[in-house]
């Protein structure tokens, strides 16, 4: 009986822990991913828009809650690379906050790369936006852009997603 009580107590204790693990992914080195695209004539060019939220309103328009934003850039082609020419981040007022790379970057077939905006980074505000310029060898293989916003506080969590649209 004593053994059973110790076992149950230990099981409950460890199942309720708020364990977080550190990411094993290395931050993106944009320079290593850059590529020279001298001839864009043979590529299909496009532009996509993605809404993201560094903050959302909570209880009233006077209180905001910070969120961590993960922006995923996904190559949906299983055979061709996709090229991201530009990734610009704008705040709620439409002002450019930052440009993530100076030269086009590549995504291998079915590869995903991510931009992570810390929960402490509130520059985007309640209506942040990304504009992506991209190029693809096949008109049917346009990249997919998604945003995942998340925050946890105590035992409560908040998360939602957005999906990019073609401009």
- Please report the pLDDT score of residue 2 as a whole number: 58
**Structure confidence by residue, pLDDT tens digits, 39-77:** 777 889 999 999 999 998 888 888 888 999 999 999 999
Spatial strand order in the sheet of 144-153: 112-117, 68-74, 144-153, 156-163
- Please report the pLDDT score of residue 49 as a whole number: 98
**Structure confidence by residue, pLDDT tens digits, 72-109:** 999 999 999 999 999 999 999 999 999 999 899 999 99
Q: Which residues of 114-148 are buried (b: 16+ CB within 10 A; e: fewer)?
A: bbbbebebbebbbbbbbbbbbbbeeeebbbebbbb
Q: Which residue has the tokens 């993530």?
A: 100
- Tell me if 108 sits within 8 A of 29, measured CB to CB: no
- Please report the pLDDT score of residue 45 as a whole number: 93
* Assigned architecture for domain 42-166: Sandwich (2.60)
- Please report the pLDDT score of residue 4 as a whole number: 47
Q: Taking residues 14-31, report their average pLDDT.
A: 59
**156's tokens:** 């409560």
Residues 154 and 142: their CA atoms lie apart, in Å, by 40
Residue 58 half-sphere exposure toward CB, CA atoms < 13 A = 11
Residue 96, strand partner residues: 90
Residues 86 and 102: their CA atoms lie apart, in Å, by 8
**Structure confidence by residue, pLDDT tens digits, 108-154:** 999 999 999 999 999 999 999 999 999 998 878 899 999 999 998 77
Backbone angles phi, psi at 14, to 5 degrees: -75, -25
Please report which helix (H) or strand (E) contains residue 30, including its range: helix 30-33
- Please report the pLDDT score of residue 33 as a whole number: 82
**Residue with the larger pLDDT of the pair 63 and 5:** 63
């Amino acid at each position: 009986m004593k053994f059973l009580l110790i076992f149950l107590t230990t099981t409950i204790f460890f199942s309720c822990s708020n364990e977080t693990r550190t990411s094993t992914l290395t931050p993106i080195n944009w320079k290593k991913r850059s590529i020279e695209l001298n001839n864009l004539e043979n590529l299909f060019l496009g532009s996509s828009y993605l809404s993201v939220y560094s903050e959302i309103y909570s209880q009233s328009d006077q209180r905001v809650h910070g969120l961590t934003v993960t922006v995923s850039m996904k190559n949906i082609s299983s055979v061709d690379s996709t090229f991201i020419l530009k990734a610009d981040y704008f705040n709620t007022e439409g002002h450019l906050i930052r440009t993530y790379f100076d030269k086009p970057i590549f995504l291998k077939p079915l590869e995903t790369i991510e931009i992570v905006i810390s929960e402490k980074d509130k520059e985007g505000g309640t209506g942040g936006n990304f504009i992506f310029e991209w190029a693809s060898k096949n008109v049917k293989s346009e990249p997919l852009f998604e945003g995942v916003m998340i925050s946890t506080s105590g035992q409560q969590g908040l998360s939602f997603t957005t999906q990019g649209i073609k401009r």
